[in-house]
Amino acid sequence: MNHYAHSTRLLVAIDCIIFGFDGEELKLLLIKRRFEPEKGKWSLMGGFVNEEEDLEVGAERILHELTGLHNIYVEQLQTFGKVDRDPVERTLSVVFFALINIHNHDEESVKSHSACWISLKQMPKLIFDHEKMVQIALERLRYKAALHPIGFELLPQQFTIPQLQKLYEAIYDLKLDRRNFSRKILSTGLLLDTGEKNVNSATKKAVLYRLNKEKYESNFNNFWYFMPVTT
């Protein structure tokens, strides 16, 4: 009667690609793997799916274990399932990507996992197919950030337009025109002037904005076209 009985059961892992932005560069939170095979090598943070745990819950568990954070931006990327992607035993990996404010995580748990923020431009070799995962995550981030306001997930609560522009320039690895960028961003109505100014600046202090959460949430799935087609 049980049509399922003779089918193969597979190990299923969850791996998390965690993006952060330090004001200059786009970075990934990577760990040094703590068990064989490939012990000591650079890797994405991951873990196996628990028996009684939904995939999203598993991703949040793993993200919390490393960063100490809850309620962060997480999105399922895709599932990697090449037969030989793990040398020990066939293992599927359901990959999630997360965007966090790079200053918000728990330093203790990051340290205890031998984790580091590493610039995308200085990526070390990663285990298994994790480099491919990162490549596809970066493509997804670039795709999504061009059309939806996810960039804000990488910034602090208050930020200036020049900071936002630097973020976009880091994501796409290009230079944008300051004046056109400002005009486009302000026209979205997503930014609320806080009245305050950025005291850190060495020259003219830029206005600090915060996200219009209402508009952000209700119109998230709109197409915004943040990036110019040329330039």
Partner DNA sequence: CTATTATTGTGTTGTTTTGACACATTTATA
Partner DNA sequence: TATAAATGTGTCAAAACAACACAATAATAG
Spatial distance between the Cα atoms of 173 and 28, rounded to a whole number of angstroms:
15
**Residue 3 DSSP symbol:** T
The three-point CA angle 157-158-161 to 5° equals 125
User: Which 147-176 residues touch DNA, going by CB under 7 A?
Assistant: 160-162
Which of DNA, its own copies, none does residue 177 bind (CB under 5 to 8 Å by kind)?
DNA
Residue count, binding to DNA (CB under 7 A): 24
Which of its own copies, DNA, none does residue 12 bind (CB under 5 to 8 Å by kind)?
its own copies
Q: Which is nearer to DNA, 131 or 169 (CB)?
A: 169
One DSSP character per residue, 181-210 reads: HHHHHHHTT-EEEEEEE-TT-SSSPPEEEE
Kindly state whether residue 52 participates in binding its own copies, applying the rule CB under 8 A.
yes
In sign, the C-alpha dihedral spanning 61, 139, 120, 186 is negative
What tokens were used for 14?
Answer: 């969850």
Amino acid letter, residue 150: I
Which of DNA, its own copies, none does residue 83 bind (CB under 5 to 8 Å by kind)?
its own copies
Q: Which is nearer to its own copies, 92 or 120 (CB)?
A: 92
Torsion region of 103: left, alpha or beta (phi above 0 gives left; psi -120 to 50 gives alpha): alpha
Q: Specify whether the CB–CB gap between 117 and 22 falls below 8 A.
A: yes
Spatial distance between the Cα atoms of 48 and 209, rounded to a whole number of angstroms:
40
Which of DNA, its own copies, none does residue 119 bind (CB under 5 to 8 Å by kind)?
none
Residue count, binding to its own copies (CB under 8 A): 36
For the CB of residue 126, give the shortest distance to its own copies in the complex, in Å.
Answer: 18
Kindly state whether residue 222 participates in binding DNA, applying the rule CB under 7 A.
no
Kindly state whether residue 3 participates in binding its own copies, applying the rule CB under 8 A.
yes
The residues that touch DNA, with contacts defined as CB under 7 A, are 160-162, 177-180, 182-184, 187, 197, 201-207, 225, 228-231
The residues that touch its own copies, with contacts defined as CB under 8 A, are 1-4, 7-12, 35-36, 48-55, 76, 78-79, 81-83, 88-92, 94, 146-147, 223, 229
